[in-house]
Amino acid sequence: CPPHVLSQTLKHLMDKERVKGFCQCIVAQKPREGISHMIQSSGLGGMKPNTVVMGWPHAWRQSEDPQAWKTFINTVRVTTAAHLALLVPKNISLFPNNSEPCSEGYIDVWWIVHDGGMLMLLPFLLRQHKVAS
C-alpha cells in the first residue's frame, strides 16, 4: 500500500479508539530499516519523542520469525544511540484496549538507568488513563 493509504488507515483507527496524537508511516524494505528511519525522523516541528515502546520478541524462539531478535537488538542500539528511553512492556498483547476497563493489577517498574524521574512518573500516568480507572 502507498504511505498515504496507510496513514489514512492509521488515522481512522486512532479516531475509532479515541487516541489523540500524530501518526507517521514509513515504508522500508526491511523492518530493521523502517524502525531506524522512524526513530530518526519522528516528531512534529520542535516536538520530538523521548521514548520508544516495543514488545519483547517472543517469536524468535519459535521458527515464526528468526530475524525478530536481530530486529529487537538493532532497535535497542538505534534507540540508545538517539538518547531515547526504551520501554519493553511484559505481555503487551494482554494489555486491555479502550473498550476493556481494567481496575486491578500491578504496574512494575524496573529502574535500570537514572532518567531524571520519568520512570517514576510513568506508572502514575498509566493509572490516569480511562482503561486503568
The pLDDT value given to residue 57 = 77
For the stretch 80-93, pLDDT in tens is: 888 888 888 777 77
Topology at the third CATH level for domain 3-95: 60s Ribosomal Protein L30; Chain: A; (3.30.1330)
- Helix/strand/coil for 87: strand
CB 57 within 8 A of CB 90: no
Mean pLDDT over each residue of the chain, to the nearest integer: 78
Q: What are phi and psi of 53, to 5 degrees?
A: -115, 130
Query: Residues of the chain with pLDDT > 90: what percent?
Result: 2
The domain limits of the chain are 3-95
The Cα-based distances of 106 to 22, 45, 89, 102 in angstroms read 29, 36, 12, 11
Q: What is the mean pLDDT of residues 114-120?
A: 69
Residue 115 pLDDT exceeds 80? no
- The candidate with the shortest Cα–Cα distance to 122, out of 63, 50, 56, is 50
Q: What is the pLDDT of residue 12?
A: 92
Asked whether the whole model's pTM tops 0.75, one would answer no
